[in-house]
Homo-oligomer: A and B are copies of this chain.
Amino acid sequence: MLKQRITAKTWGLAPTALVMLTLLSDGHYAQGQEPVAEPLPTLILFIGDGLDDQHVTMGRNYLAGQQGTLVMDTLPIRSAVQVETVSSDGMPVYVADSANTATSLAAGIITSIGRVGTDPRNKPVPSLLESAAHAGLRTGIISSASVTDATPAAFLAHVAKRGCENPAIILGGRRYGQMFEGCPTDARGNGGQGSVAEQIAASAADLVLGGGLEHFVIPDADTGRSALDEAKDNGFIITKNLTELREADTQQPVLGLFANSHLPVRMQGTDGRTAEAPEPSLLNALDWRLGSVTQPPAMDCELNPRFAGTPDLATLTSIALDRLSIDNTQGLFLMVESASIDKESHDRNPCGSIGEIEQLEEAIAVALAYADEHPNTLILVTADHAQAAQIVPEPSLFASIPVPIYSPGKVARVRTPEGGIMRINYATNLFESEEHTGANVPLFALAPHGTVIPGFLRQRDVYALMMDYLGLDQP
């Protein structure tokens, strides 16, 4: 009997295997009939990138109404998860990035900002997906970002810096207009495991779906072969749209790359507007007690035209669960990332974040329906780190005071379907991208009876809990 099946008690389900035993004359027991199949452990981990309580509440107020309930709110267990980060010289760091936090969730360690699947001394640490695949479980990764982005990468690869996504940039070069030193010691040519794309191509995952085609088509300077070539060699079927994905042979692993970079988001503000700076009058600019301020006009959330044709997370989750359930004899691990809650918060686009939360909601609903049919399913929904957006008063709490009071940052006034105005403040800096923030993040869970999830845990505890649930030993 396989390890993860032995640990049925840890899932708390009464075993359904009804084995008839016969006492033989030699004192041993003989099995009288074939056992009914035990329920296989299924773990679906949703990561809402940047999905802190401000964003959860933004999503609730917009999508369900202030008095409404999100799908994630209906999960019976809710906990808080402390985010832990360490500097390269061992000091605590109070705000994380998606790379080090995804590494904590995927591999159970505390590491430094920017690291993917490596500890602060650059030692690779095995991920839960790798352990699960090694034990024979069926495994999959879905992201609305490039699959080489930090969160999916931490489950599939090991590099010193999250930027080392392909065989060119791993050697360094210009990135986001800045010089980037790369991770040369991780390069294949230097005896390393290669870039994130190359490691995904070599991975044992059964399914990897998202964006990032651009990183898979770059040829290695030495061999001339791309990660896409290597993925094919490794048995992956490559699909670039839903039709191809649906038609892909279910007996082979599948790599679905549906955009060159991150997948477009579903929603945007009116005419693509994002948060804007309030405009003080000339008089107010001279003396803060005088004059007036013009707040940005309210915006609606509308469909982002660039989203057209993009597979949504719910469809990908549904296809993934179907594929991974076929010939599943040991259990199933699927990670689904709604990546752009964070990216749109960096860009001060609340409608972008809300659309990603809506996609996450729909994908969770797919998982809940799966759990109805597969009672041994553990669903976890969490975030990697908190983000900049804050819901602030509309109007100001101090509106009765005859002085113009306004954010020094940028503000979006989002009209909600129920007719309110939800004002979102982005004011961690005035640079082109907001900062992350350091609050603990939520964890929502649906757990089989008897699986204990504490009210407070750390990201490395979430890893340990998942490993235990799947019956996998921590390396």
Show the binding face of A for B, using Cβ within 8 Å. Answer: 52-54, 56-57, 60-61, 65-67, 69, 73-80, 82, 84-85, 91-95, 97, 110, 113, 178, 288, 386, 388, 390-394, 396-398, 400-401, 403, 405-409, 416, 418-423, 425, 427-431, 433, 435-442, 444, 454-456, 458
Chain A: interface secondary structure? Answer: loop
Contacting pair B95 A397 (CB below 8 A): yes
What 3 pairs between A and B have smallest CB-CB spacing? A391-B438, A78-B455, A427-B427
Contacting pair A57 B438 (CB below 8 A): yes
**In the complex, residue of chain B having the shortest beta-carbon distance to the beta carbon of A78:** B455
Given contacts A53-B386, A66-B84, A84-B66, contact A94 B394 (CB under 8 A): yes
Docked Cα-Cα span, A67 to B86, in Å, equals: 11
Contacting pair A95 B393 (CB below 8 A): yes
Contacting pair A420 B53 (CB below 8 A): no
**In the complex, residue of chain B having the shortest beta-carbon distance to the beta carbon of A426:** B427
> What's the nearest-Cβ distance from chain B to residue A1, in Å?
33
Contacting pair A408 B427 (CB below 8 A): yes
**In the complex, residue of chain B having the shortest beta-carbon distance to the beta carbon of A400:** B178
Q: How many copies of the shown chain assemble into the complex? A: 2
> What's the nearest-Cβ distance from chain B to residue A439, in Å?
4
Contacting pair A397 B436 (CB below 8 A): yes
Q: List 9 A-B contacts (CB under 8 A).
A: A54-B386, A61-B438, A66-B82, A78-B80, A94-B393, A393-B436, A397-B435, A408-B408, A408-B429
A67's contact among B79, B400, B440, B458, by CB below 8 Å, is which? B458
**In the complex, residue of chain B having the shortest beta-carbon distance to the beta carbon of A179:** B400
Docked Cα-Cα span, A400 to B456, in Å, equals: 34
Contacting pair A69 B456 (CB below 8 A): yes
Contacts of A405 in B (CB 8 A): 429, 431
Given contacts A53-B440, A392-B437, contact A429 B406 (CB under 8 A): yes
> What's the nearest-Cβ distance from chain B to residue A433, in Å?
7
**In the complex, residue of chain B having the shortest beta-carbon distance to the beta carbon of A79:** B78
Contacting pair A54 B439 (CB below 8 A): yes
Contacts of A390 in B (CB 8 A): 388, 390, 428, 437-439
Contacts of A429 in B (CB 8 A): 396, 398, 405-408
Docked Cα-Cα span, A414 to B191, in Å, equals: 43
Contacts of A420 in B (CB 8 A): 91-94
Contacting pair A428 B431 (CB below 8 A): no
